[in-house]
Structure 1
Amino acid sequence: MVLALVAVLLLALFAVRVRRLAHRIGSFECALRPPGRRDWTSGIAVFGVGRVDWYRLVSLSLRPDRTFARADLEVRERVHRSPDGKGQVTEIRCGQPGKEVDLAMRRDSLAGLVSWLESAPPRGDYFV
């Protein structure tokens, strides 16, 4: 009986966490894969101030598993999952200094990510 109650409680906590993440402003579905691996990990990414936070979907943690700084994030390669390029999901290779990661997301989410990256303030000291 106690074990069933604990299982129901954990399931309820998981459901509340996913609902809260998915309904945040600036959140989108985004799978992550370290380069060289075959398996993807489902998650939810959320735009923040100067960063994108990525949360593992199957988890109870309230902290992001990965954080990508806007100033360091760069889209290096795009691969459409369907051969004709009309599929809804696009895989991208992203890079940060010393790290690379593959992300998969819907095309409209990718358009939002690229727009967000391109609208960043200029890097460097232009005003002296």
Structure 2
Amino acid sequence: MWEIIIAAVLVICLVLLPFALLYLRRRWLTGQGGLFDCAYQVKETTPGSGWVLGMARYRGEHLEWFRSFSLDLRPKRVFPRVGTAYVHQRRPAGLEAIALFEDSMIVTLQDRLTGETSSLSMARDEVLALMSWLESAPPGSNYLPASADTPG
């Protein structure tokens, strides 16, 4: 009889352990700075697909993005303020409206060095915060030095 009870308790603990670890990770990340829900589009091959739910936070001069369902404490994507430019925003369309957070907006950012674009989905208030954060960089910080092979 005791063997069955012990086995059942072990199974329950093993099932609940990942959820407890995800909760503890989110609590730890929240304690490191303001955290907000933010989805990231990892691939843009099919319109409306490729979104991964996550969370983001501002840390110094960077916007850090973390996957929601990961135990990694390091961000999967980092957007430096000096090298990131706001391109535009739009409402989710089609499948995006179902897959993303309710009442979210999709923001497109561009890497100033490579020209690569990235799409993030976040609440409207967070879009305003992101735009303010990008625009409030100290004077001269948006200057990107010329590459080594460019004269001048």
- Match in the other structure for 2:50: 39
Looking at secondary structure, tell me which structure has more strand per residue. Answer: 1
Indicate the SS of the match to 2:52: coil
Asked if the contact 1:81–1:91 (Cα under 8 Å) also holds between the matched residues in 2, the reply is yes
Query: Number of aligned pairs?
Result: 121
Q: Is 1:49 matched up with 2:60?
A: yes
Distance 2:124 2:52 in 1: 18
**What is the Cα-based RMSD across aligned positions, in Å?**
2.2
For 1:107 and 1:53, locate their aligned partners in 2 and report how far apart those are by CA, in whole Å: 18
What TM-score comes out, normalization by structure 1 length?
A: 0.81
Instruction: Kindly provide the amino acid, as one letter, of the partner of residue 54 in structure 2.
Output: G
1:115 aligned onto 2:139: no
Contact in 2 for aligned 1:26/1:47 (Cα 8 Å): yes
Unaligned runs of 5+ in 2: 1-6, 94-101, 145-152
TM-score normalised per structure 2: 0.69
Q: CA deviation at 1:108?
A: 0.2
Judge conservation of contact 1:21–1:44 (CA < 8 Å) in 2. Answer: no
Q: Distance in 2 between matches of 1:68 and 1:51?
A: 5
Q: CA deviation at 1:4?
A: 4.1
Separation in 2, partners of 1:67, 1:101: 11
3-state DSSP of counterpart to 1:59 = coil
Distance of 1:111 and 1:23 partners within structure 2: 23
Which has more radius of gyration? 2
| Cα distance in structure 2, aligned partners of 1:67 and 1:26 | 16
Contact 2:33-2:59 within 8 A present in 1 as well: no
Shift of 1:22: 4.2
Identity percentage of aligned residues: 29
Among candidates 9, 12, 33, match of residue 20 of structure 2: 12
**The structure with more helix, counted as a fraction of residues:** 2
Structure 1 consecutive aligned stretches of length 4 or more whose deviation exceeds 4 Å: none
Residue 46 of structure 1: CA displacement? 0.5
Residue 72 of structure 1: CA displacement? 0.8
Q: Deviation string for 1:78-127 (max 9, x for gaps)?
A: 11237xxxx831111111132221111011000001000000012339xx
The answer for unaligned runs of 5 or more in structure 1 is none
Q: Is the 8 A contact 1:76 1:92 kept in 2?
A: yes
